[in-house]
Amino acid sequence: MRKDEKGQSLVEFALLLPIILLLLVGIIDFGRVLYSYSHLHMATQETVRLGGLGSTDEEMTTFAQNYIHIGDPDNLTVSISPSDTERDSGEYVTVHLTYPVELHTPFLSSILPSPVMIKTDSTIRVE
3-state secondary structure of 94: strand
Q: How many domains does the chain have?
A: 1
pLDDT of amino acid 9? 85
Residue among 92, 71, 73, 72 at smallest CA distance from 81: 92
pLDDT tens digits in sequence order for the chain, 127 residues long: 567 777 888 888 999 999 999 889 889 989 999 999 999 999 999 999 999 998 899 999 999 999 999 888 899 999 999 988 888 888 999 999 999 998 888 777 678 777 889 999 999 999 8
Q: Residue 76's domain spans which residues?
A: 5-126
pLDDT at 70: 87
- At residue 1, the pLDDT reads 54
Q: Give CB contacts under 8 A, 24+ apart, made by 117-120.
A: 118/33, 118/36, 118/37, 118/40, 120/37, 120/40, 120/41, 120/43, 120/44, 120/96
